[in-house]
Amino acid sequence: MEERLQKILSQGGVASRREAERLISAGRVAVNGEVVTELGSKADPAKDRITLDGKPVSVGGTRYYILLNKPVGYVTTLKDPGGRPIVTDLLKGVGARVFPVGRLDYNTEGLLLLTNDGEWANRLAHPRHEVDKEYLVRVRGRVNPEQLQRLSGGLELDDGPTAPAQVRSQRESDNNTWLSITIHEGRYRQVRRMCEAVGLTVVRLRRIRYGALKLGELKPGEFRLLTGAEVAELVRPCGDGRGRPVRPVRR
């Protein structure tokens, strides 16, 4: 049965549907040897040969749900034209191609989810879930009460107003202040742009929580499988619900 290409790519563990659309538009997807760039194009995964960058895409297979402590100096794209390291280089021993759920920029570190379950990632990224994401932010100098109020009340950025955020001052010195900033949106470089909008310079940015998931004791570059309860808690579509590490599951 024919289905939209972005859905097939998502089910094949290549990317979320949104990212799959970008891959198609970029001319990286082909059906039976012919490059397809038109969104909405369809194919039959049972009959057609679908490839990404020349490599076959198959629907089904083993599903992985991974929490990684991303270090600074890695990109969260599947491919980098500049040759910079990508986060999947860190996943030694994972026998599948996985992709990030959302992004952390090159100079941001901390909690990053990766999976090859495109439908799970798509549900998790949907705005209706409003998953809290907490960041520890070190900014230069002291932060005054007006700046804290503006950060927490919502700001007008170049792509529209932000939703209210939870902002707390953690500790400060004459040179730096550590802030906890919790948002539920996922815009490009949002926390950095929020700080810039109130005149703060970010020195270090680390995501420490995603929903109920915490970074814990993982060192930069280390990763672990999510438990069944953790997978279920985020979007409640799967997982064994008993708090055990999820074994890669065959579908």
Place of tokens 């859905």: 7
- Partnered with residue 11 across adjacent β-strands are none
- Residue 123's pLDDT is 80
Label residue 93 by pLDDT band (50, 70, 90): confident
Distance CA 85, CA 140 (A): 28
The catalytic position among 48, 105, 132, 240 is: 105
Q: What percent of the chain has pLDDT over 70?
A: 92
CB of 9 within 8 A of CB of 43?
no
The predicted structure's pLDDT at residue 180: 97
Bridge partner list, 61? none
Cα–Cα distance for residue pair 109/104, rounded to 1 Å:
7
* Token pair belonging to 251: 């579908």
115: helix, strand or coil: strand
> Percent of the chain scored above 90 by pLDDT?
53
Beta bridge mates, 157: 160
pLDDT of 152: 95
Residue 235 has a pLDDT of 75
105 is catalytic: yes
- Helices 145-153 & 190-197 angle (0-180, nearest 10): 140
pLDDT of residue 127: 66
Is 52 within 8 Å of 45 (Cβ atoms)? no
62-97+115-126+216-250 with 132-210: one CATH topology?
A: yes
pLDDT at 249: 43
For the chain, give the number of residues.
Answer: 251
- In the prediction, which pLDDT does 60 show? 65
Instruction: List C-alpha distances in Å: 5 to 60, 118, 237.
Output: 15, 13, 23
pLDDT of amino acid 141: 95
Q: Quick one: pLDDT band at residue 244, thresholds 50, 70, 90?
A: very low
Class of domain 62-97+115-126+216-250: alpha beta
Domain-wise residue ranges, the chain:
3-56, 62-97+115-126+216-250, 132-210
pLDDT 10s digits, 153-199: 999 999 999 999 999 999 988 899 999 999 998 888 999 999 999 99
| pLDDT, mean over the chain | 87
pLDDT of residue 136: 97
The CATH architecture to which 3-56 belongs is Roll (3.10)
Beta strands in 5-92 (DSSP E): 29-31, 34-35, 42-43, 50-52, 55-56, 62-63, 65-70
What is 132-210's CATH number?
3.30.70.1560
- For the question of whether the overall pTM of this predicted structure is more than 0.85, the answer is no
Angstrom distance (rounded) from CA 89 to CA 77:
11
Q: Is 203 exposed, middle or buried (0-12, 13-18, 19+ CB in 10 A)?
A: middle
Asked whether the predicted pLDDT for residue 41 surpasses 80, the reply is yes
> Which sign does the torsion angle of CA 130, 235, 231, 117 carry?
negative
| 42-80 per-position pLDDT tens digit | 988 778 888 888 888 877 667 889 999 999 999 998 788
129 versus 211: the higher-pLDDT residue is 211
Q: For residue 86, is pLDDT > 60?
A: yes
Is-contact 119 14, C-beta < 8 A?
Answer: no
